[in-house]
A = this chain, B = another copy of it.
């Protein structure tokens, strides 16, 4: 398995070996960042793009009442902050949840690699646009799905996304989130997030032990959640080869 950035972007465009080498060159010297650390602050004018190579981070916004909403999870191979090239200021913050290995790539280096390879440029845009598609799906879930279905849907999504970067096998993946963070991500109170997860456990759809989620029957969980993976755009590369 290649590094997470290469693995992920390979799903966004048909990269050649030179492209992979360019991406690996960006991936030297990642920083080790502890959990619960802000990588970028809301209102910042970022000079860097962040790439998570290991661990879990998140996009967050604070409400006027001082509560925190988690707008999206940033998994290994995910790129954050590309949009700040255009939208000068961060309209949300990026924080680590667990300890992470993170690249801080200077804006100029991103510009160079995008100029050098239109395929990498496409893959990077693909990556941000998929993030947006995921965010839209979270919005659908927030409006239409019950707490337990929403939790199930999140687990299905994480499994699919982590699988692509080799961080999940057929049935399990690590999920280093507290119930509070899970609640912030799903728009639920901590207590109700707990109960929703427990309901999934009770129904035998999910086993949660020691920070690891196991899904004994993926099809059953997907059915319960109404999970349809199209929104993850995981097949974009194939489409490009065909079309």
Contacts and interface: CB of A to CB of B under 8 A. Distances in A.
A239 B135 CA distance: 27
A144 B188 CA distance: 8
Given A63-B144, A63-B226, A140-B63, A88 B236 contact: yes
Interface residues of A, number: 48
Nearest to A222: B64
Instruction: Please give the count of copies of this chain that the complex contains.
Output: 2
A132 interface: yes
A142 interface: yes
Given A125-B86, A233-B87, A239-B89, A143 B187 contact: yes
Contacts of A86: 122, 125-126, 129
B139 A69 contact: yes
A41 B136 CA distance: 16
For A59, A64, A145, A188, the residue with the greatest tally of chain B CB atoms inside 10 Å of its CB is: A64
Contacts of A125: 86
A209 interface: no
A243 interface: yes
Nearest to A228: B64
A91 B226 contact: no
Nearest to A42: B230
A228 B45 CA distance: 19
A44 to B, nearest CB: 12
Contacts of A132: 83, 132, 135
Given A129-B86, A130-B87, A133-B87, A69 B143 contact: yes
B129 A83 contact: yes
Contacts of A243: 45, 88
Contacts of A173: none
A126 B125 CA distance: 14
Contacts of A91: 133, 136, 230-231, 233
Given A71-B139, A71-B140, A143-B184, 20 more contacts: A61-B231, A63-B145, A64-B226, A69-B139, A69-B140, A69-B143, A71-B136, A83-B132, A86-B126, A87-B130, A88-B236, A89-B230, A89-B239, A91-B133, A91-B230, A91-B231, A132-B135, A135-B136, A143-B186, A144-B187
7 contacts: A63-B145, A86-B122, A91-B230, A132-B132, A139-B139, A143-B186, A143-B188
